[in-house]
Amino acid sequence: SFDPDIDGYWHGLYTFDAFGTGQHSYKWEFNEAILTLSIDGNVVYSNADLRGHLTGNYSVSLTLQDINSGAVPILKSFAVTSYDNNPPTVSAGGQYSVNEGGSVQVSANGNDPENGPLAYAWDLDNNGSFETSGQSVNFSATNLDGPSSHIITVRVTDNGGLTSTSQTTVNVVNVAPTMGLINISANPVLVNTSVTASASFTDPGILDTHTAVWDWGDGTTANGTVTETNGSGSITDSHIYTNSGVYTITLTVTDKDGGQATQTFQYLSVYNPTSQGLFSAGQKYISPTGAYTQNTSLTGNVQFGLSYKYQGTVPTGNRQFSMDFNSANFHFNATTITSLVISNDIGTLKGLGTVNGSGTYNFLVTGSETNNTIRIQIKDQSELVVYDTQPNATDTTDPITPVTAGKVLAH
């Protein structure tokens, strides 16, 4: 015999009993899914945990097999009209953090007391609508301004329609702008002549606005003229230098939340016209392999600037001569000028200076206005070469390294 007396109210766990004698094989099936296969000499029973199923019509089958009658299935049908269903629980995780313009994955963990399936949905803009489905989803900060905090909510729904929600916070972090290189309209530039400098910037915070400040390197600063759309733009301004020299220009851009980016231009050479002789040059060349004796394979951009003229029979200059080979962490600044010779549009400058702010080194700079080329040689006090763009060449050899940005004046 077989007794699944279970019509009506479903509390989530049912017991089906089979009664018989003899050696039999019993096979239980619930809606054609095998629950258990057992052999017992007297009584066989199975506890069927049917949690997760809704109301409706179901069937339980018991197949009894012995050596005389073979397989004898017994089918019982029953209906579930109501059942216990407890609400699920869920956690939204977090707190989460994301940069302006970026995205972060948010993930929830839910539990259903009846072990049923759960459907997840998110309200990512806190408008009360759960428009994004999934247990793990992406939160986008593309159109959000940082620093700021945003509440998001996840909702889970079980197969009985019961729901649970959980809230958490996403913190949007302000991101500083980034800036491109400073571009200069002319280099070298004549004293008392306007020079224009410009640079572009970008900011992932499209709601940010920006201010800018120029440090022209001659003791003056000025607010920059900013043109921008959706957090990105450019700064363009002009300046007049009243004294000859070699100048470093610095531009700082600041967003409304205090994030900053700084860019430096080295070097702008400003010259004063003279009938007695002028040697002015800047701003960049590529250091050839073999030039830096501590690492002869090293190459890269070198920023430099010089501006000298004769005053009577004595060469004079403001800021003298500077060069920066950043790939080698090699920085030279002249401290004393010993000679300046200008002939056939080639300038030759000699003197003393420091490397990385210390020591005493001899230097030689030659520049060709006609070919727009440069040579720089630096030796220690033992006359050992530390740096030379033309190794083993004599001091009177014409310079051959092209100036890639800026130009040479020697006349």
The SS3 of residue 171 is strand
Mean pLDDT of 143-166: 95
Q: How confident is the model at residue 11 (pLDDT cuts 50, 70, 90)?
A: very low
What are the angstrom distances between the C-alpha of 225 and each of 136, 168, 196, 236? Answer: 45, 41, 12, 6
First to last CA, the chain: 120
Paired tokens of 212: 């800018």
pLDDT for residue 80 is more than 70: no
pLDDT tens per residue across span 164-173? 999 999 999 9
**What is the 3 state secondary structure string of 316-373?**
ECCCCEEEEEHHHCEEEEEEEEEEEEEECCEEEEEEEEEECCEEEEEEEEEEECCCCE
Paired tokens of 160: 């009985």
Of residues 338 and 59, the one with the higher pLDDT is: 338
Of residues 52 and 85, the one with the higher pLDDT is: 85
Contact 37/27 with Cβ under 8 angstroms?
yes
pLDDT for residue 9 is more than 90: no
Does the model's pTM come out above 0.85? no
pLDDT for the residue numbered 393? 94
Q: How confident is the model at residue 150 (pLDDT cuts 50, 70, 90)?
A: very high
pLDDT for the residue numbered 38? 44
- 5: CB partners within 8 A, 6+ apart: none
Q: How confident is the model at residue 61 (pLDDT cuts 50, 70, 90)?
A: low
Q: How confident is the model at residue 117 (pLDDT cuts 50, 70, 90)?
A: very high
The SS3 of residue 205 is coil
pLDDT for the residue numbered 274? 61
Contact 309/274 with Cβ under 8 angstroms?
yes
In percent, how much of the chain has pLDDT > 90? Answer: 61
pLDDT for the residue numbered 337? 86
Q: How confident is the model at residue 266 (pLDDT cuts 50, 70, 90)?
A: confident
Q: Output the average pLDDT for the chain.
A: 83
Of residues 46 and 20, the one with the higher pLDDT is: 20
pLDDT for residue 69 is more than 70: no
For 98: left if phi > 0, alpha if psi spans -120 to 50, otherwise beta; the answer is beta
pLDDT tens per residue across span 358-394? 999 999 999 999 999 999 999 999 999 999 999 999 9
pLDDT tens per residue across span 191-241? 899 999 999 999 999 999 999 999 999 999 999 999 999 999 999 999 999
Q: How confident is the model at residue 246 (pLDDT cuts 50, 70, 90)?
A: confident
CA-wise closest residue to 213 among 249, 188, 248: 249
pLDDT for the residue numbered 343? 81
Mean pLDDT of 400-408: 94
The residue written with tokens 């459907």 in the block is 119
Mean pLDDT of 128-151: 96
DSSP state of 306: E
CB neighbour class for 1 (10 Å; exposed up to 12, middle 13-18, buried from 19): exposed
pLDDT for the residue numbered 56? 55
Of residues 316 and 161, the one with the higher pLDDT is: 161
Contact 91/161 with Cβ under 8 angstroms?
no
